[in-house]
C-alpha cells in the first residue's frame, strides 16, 4: 500500500468517526483536515468534495456493517429461521455498543434531503442489500412458498428490523428491537 493510499485511508477513518459521532452535516472539512493532521491540498487530492468523502464513507460503512452482521449470523450454526431471529440479537448488541447512536445510513439520509445525491443512492443500495440478505434466509425457511409470499415475509421482517432500529435509537432502549423480534418469531411459527 502506498503512502498516498495510507493517507487516504487515515483521512477516511477520521471522517468516519466524526460523521458517525457528530453527524454528517455537523462535521466540517476543516475539522476533518485538522484531526487528520493533513494539508487542505492533501484532502482535495483524495476527495473532490465533502459529498465525495461522504460517499466513500458510506461505501466503507456498508462493507463493515455487512461483515459485522454476517459474522454474528454465522455464529448461529442453526436453521435459517434462527439466523433471522439472530439479526435482532445482533441489532440489540450493536445498538448498546454504540450508545444507541443508530444507523449511520438513516442518520445521513435524514441530513441529505436531495434525493439525487449519490449518498442517497448508496443508502438505498445498503438497505436493499440488507433486505436481500433477509430474503435469502426467508427462502431457505419457506422453500415451498410462492415468490410473492416470501417477498411479503421479507418485507415485513425488514420493516420490523428497521422500525426496531429507529425506535431503539429514539428511546435509547432495546425494547423496540425485542418487540420486533417477538413479532417475527410469532410470524414464523
**What is the SS3 string spanning 29-61?**
HHHHHHHHCCCHHHHHHHCCCHHHHHHHHHHHH
The DSSP annotation for 114-179 comes to -TTSHHHHHHHHHHHHHHHHHHHHHHHH-TTS-HHHHHHHHHHHHHHHHHHHHHHHHHTSSHHHHH
> Which three cell numbers mark 42?
492533501
CA-based torsion, 151, 113, 125, 60: positive or negative: negative
Q: Give Cα separations from 127 to 22, 66, 177 (angstroms).
A: 22, 11, 17
Contacts of 171 (CB under 8 A, 6+ apart): none
pLDDT at position 118, please? 97
pLDDT at position 178, please? 97
Do the Cβ atoms of 12 and 60 come closer than 8 Å? yes
Do the Cβ atoms of 61 and 104 come closer than 8 Å? yes
Do the Cβ atoms of 181 and 88 come closer than 8 Å? yes
pLDDT at position 3, please? 62
Residues of the chain with pLDDT under 70: 1-5
pLDDT at position 7, please? 87
| % of the chain exceeding 90 in pLDDT | 91
Amino acid at each position: 500500500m502506498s503512502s498516498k493510499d495510507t493517507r487516504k485511508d487515515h483521512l477516511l477513518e477520521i471522517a468516519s468517526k466524526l460523521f458517525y459521532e457528530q453527524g454528517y452535516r455537523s462535521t466540517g472539512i476543516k475539522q476533518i483536515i485538522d484531526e487528520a493532521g493533513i494539508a487542505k491540498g492533501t484532502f482535495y487530492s483524495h476527495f473532490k468534495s465533502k459529498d465525495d468523502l461522504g460517499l466513500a464513507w458510506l461505501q466503507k460503512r456498508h462493507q463493515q456493517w455487512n461483515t459485522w452482521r454476517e459474522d454474528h449470523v454465522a455464529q448461529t450454526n442453526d436453521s435459517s429461521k434462527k439466523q433471522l431471529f439472530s439479526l435482532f440479537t445482533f441489532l440489540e448488541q450493536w445498538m448498546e455498543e454504540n450508545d444507541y447512536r443508530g444507523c449511520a445510513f438513516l442518520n445521513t439520509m435524514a441530513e441529505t434531503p436531495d434525493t439525487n445525491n449519490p449518498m442517497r443512492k448508496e443508502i438505498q443500495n445498503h438497505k436493499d442489500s440488507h433486505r436481500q440478505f433477509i430474503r435469502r434466509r426467508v427462502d431457505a425457511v419457506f422453500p415451498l412458498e410462492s415468490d410473492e409470499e416470501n417477498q411479503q415475509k421479507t418485507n415485513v421482517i425488514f420493516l420490523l428490523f428497521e422500525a426496531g432500529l429507529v425506535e431503539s435509537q429514539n428511546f435509547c432502549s432495546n425494547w423496540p428491537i425485542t418487540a420486533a423480534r417477538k413479532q417475527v418469531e410469532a410470524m414464523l411459527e
